[in-house]
Amino acid sequence: MVALLTLLSCSQRHQYSFAPGDVVPDNVLDTMDINTRFVCLEIPDTVFDLMCGRSYKDDCILSRSDLRYLLILHRNLEGKAVVGEMVVNKEIAADVLDIMEELFLKSYPIERVRLIDYYDADDEKSMAANNTTCFNWRPKSGSTQISKHALGLAIDINPLYNPYYKFFEGTETVRPIEGTPYIDRLSGYPYQIEEGDDCYNAFISHGFTWGGSWRSVTDYQHFEK
């Protein structure tokens, strides 16, 4: 069983329920109050059951009550409205809802927003699928330090087309490896994040920093607070 995004028409005479990953027809959206499209919940039991042993591991120092489950809408590259889901730290939940609503209204393309648990909490698999995610109890890439993702305070947007890149002592690291062609930022790939675009501006205006401007590594997909 999955959580459902329930959209109510303005007249409240019609109710529609969509699961994460479902496409919502625009003729249905046109009858809806936008305030019902972006929802913040305490973690439902069915979602937490999915998370346990995956993104929420036995040694996780956060409590379930520190996290929130978001149901949102996003546009894909074809312009279709899709139901997305995300687990975030409760401290940024309101910010993330505002950001996702802003990007949706501007038709900013995000391909997929599903829990990383559907990829066995494997960051590489999720990134290769261009899946946008937040919470995952894990260390930083190439480190034993706790990641901001482990605290639910970082979001990776369209990660396949916005890879992590590091060059150290003659060795290049690209994550996901499938994102290697997109290290070249001059070609204008779909879903590409750039400084000053709608995605960048939305996150920065809410107090996030962008990994694409870091010096020691470059993490184009990554926004953290």
pLDDT of residue 46: 96
**Token digits for 55?**
């993104």
How far apart (Å, rounded) are the C-alpha atoms in residues 8 and 6?
Answer: 7
Contact (Cβ atoms closer than 8 angstroms) between residue 71 and residue 88: no
pLDDT of residue 37: 85
Q: 87: number of CA atoms within 13 Å, CB side?
A: 30
Contacts of 155 (CB under 8 A, 6+ apart): 86, 88, 96, 132, 133, 134, 203, 208, 222, 223, 224
Residue found by looking up tokens 């962008």 in the block: 210
Mark the ranges of the chain whose per-residue pLDDT is less than 50.
1, 8-13
Q: Is the overall model pTM greater than 0.85, yes or no?
A: yes
Contact (Cβ atoms closer than 8 angstroms) between residue 42 and residue 65: yes
- Residue 152 CA from chain centroid, whole number: 11
pLDDT of residue 31: 79
